[in-house]
Structure formats: structure tokens, C-alpha cells
Amino acid sequence: MVQQGVQFGKVAVLMGGLSAEREVSLMSGQGVLAALRARGVDAHAFDPASQPMDALKSEGFQRCFIALHGRYGEDGTVQGALELLGIPYTGSGVMASAMAIDKVMTKRVWLAEGLPTPRYALLHRGEGSPERLRGVVDDLGLPLIVKPVREGSSLGVTKVVDHAGMTQAVASAAELDADVLCEQFVAGDEVTVPVLGSGRQARALPVIHIVAPEGQYDYQNKYFTDVTEYRVPCDLPPGEEAAIQTLVLQAYRVLGCRGWGRADVMIDAATRRPSLLEINTSPGMTSHSLVPMAARAVGMSYEDLCLELLAGASLDYPSDGRSSA
């Protein structure tokens, strides 16, 4: 059990920020802030959208809990600023954060390591000619998934069921990112697996089976409705949960993630083979969020989870020269 909060000094909970996920980040941050304060931590809200990052140093903050989501929060930029300031922070470091936010770079690393992920095509802005889009559909088949390369919370994600839907799907994704990922659709069970810890000590929490209405696990159903069903303990066949947890730990480690994260996986209904979709290095901490849900399933309260994450705050390049891994 992590001790009460006096050992942490003055803590900034980074929330809000500049990304398209600002609203969700504020909800996550307020939850974390209340939890840390309830456990005696001298915690304060800090919004990088309205306060300069160097204020963290001048105001005497000794640790940061990153509750930012999306760009400028979990893409390595804030992590790099905190490295320069010398203030330990929760979650993955600069390189792992930058890779994990980029769904295509993540796929390239996983594929290089022999880990399964759906086939894909990458479109850059301006490459959406009718001929190019037809070629993508012919290669990946229908239905397929179109999404921005560097967004989260299902923003800009479209399931394309016919040729006519491709143009609008790509245009919608391109509004959020210059790069668009077109991904083979895997029909089957959608699950997610949170991970806590770093290196060989990292451990997978229980698998959560997500059952959304008509399979639409979108932004609205993630955060603002109660119609999505979350099955934890999950209802997978014997042995399947452990195999998926092992796969996710491999995926987490090869990217160099630390502290915590959550990987999304699709299980093919016909073959029961899992495919890695993406990994989130700064998962949500709202009332609907999945890491706290999985933690509760093993007897860990929201407050204890927040304390454990804060206790693991570290730097890529500590001033004492010791590795944070």
C-alpha cells in the first residue's frame, strides 16, 4: 500500500490543455485532484493552456500527475518540458509517449516485433483522390475503419461500410490530423487491458470486455452515456484472458512505456485471434474510465490507484544519473 501524501511534496495535476480532448482531461484531472487531496497530498490544479510551464518550477512543484489527453499532453511535448524542468511526472517518457500517440508508428514497431495488429494504409492530407480511396478499399476490404493518426477518445473515427462513405470519412479525420489511418476492420469482441508499472515489474489488470450499442464505442458512449456495458471480470473463454494480458504486456514493453497505460484489442470472432489496435499512455480517469474500473476489480480504490501512479512519477534523465526504468 502506498503511504499517505506527505512524502510527495507539492504536486501539480496537469489538466485541460490544448487538445481536442480538453473536456475529458478536465474531468479526469478533477477526479485525480480530489482523490489525491483526500489522501493528504498537497495537490493543485494546473492547466498548461492558461499557465506557462516554467511556473511549475517557480511555484515549487515537486511532482506532476499528468491528466492531460491527446496532443500537447501525452505526445511527448509536456514530458519533454518536464524533463527540462527536472520535475518527475507520471506515465511514459518522451520517446514512448511520442510513439504511442502516433497509431501508425505504433503499428510499425509492433509489426517489427512480430505482434499482431490489423492491416492498414496511411493517407497524407491531399491524398484522398477517388482512385487512391478505391485502392485502399480494394486492398483492405469493407467494412474498414478510418481515423486520425494522432487523436484519442474515438474522435474523428468512422466505420466505412461502402465506397461512397470513404470520402467523407477521410475528410472528417483530416480535419483533426494531417495523416489519416485506414485500418482493416476486425469483427468480434472489443476488449481493453490496463497496465500498471514499468519494465519487468509491469502488470496487467483484468481484461474489460466492452459491449457498446450496435458496436458504436464512440466519444459520446465513452464519456456521456450509461448504455455501454463493461464486463469485468470478463466473459472470455478459459485461457484467453491470460493470453491477451501477456500480449498487451509485450506491446507495452516494446514501446518503452512506463507507469501506466491501456491497450485496446480486437478479438476476431471466427479465429479468436487478438489484434492490437492502439495503446494509450495517459488514460482517462473519469467516472466512466476503464483503468479505475479494472483496478476496482482487484480491490484497488480510485484513491489508491492515484497514489500508486503518483508514487511512480519519474524522469527519463534524472539529475542523479540513475535510470528511471
Q: Indicate which residues carry an active-site annotation.
A: 21, 153, 223, 262, 264, 278, 280, 284
The strand pair at 42-46 and 10-14 is best described as parallel
**Scanning the structure block, which residue is given the C-alpha cell 502488470?**
203
Neighbours of 262 (CB within 10 A): 23
Q: Determine contact, residues 57/47, Cβ cutoff 8 Å.
A: no
Q: Determine contact, residues 94/76, Cβ cutoff 8 Å.
A: yes
Q: How far apart are CA 64 and CA 62, in angstroms?
A: 7
Strand-pairing partners, residue 188, are 268
Integer-rounded Cα Rg, in Å, for the chain is 19
Residue 138, C-beta contacts closer than 8 angstroms, at least 6 positions apart: none
Residue type at 256 in one-letter notation: G
**Residue among 147, 148, 152 nearest 28 (CA):** 152
Residue type at 228 in one-letter notation: T
- Which phi and psi angles does 180 have, rounded to 5°? -125, 130
The number of helices, as runs of H, and strands, as runs of E, in the chain is 11, 13
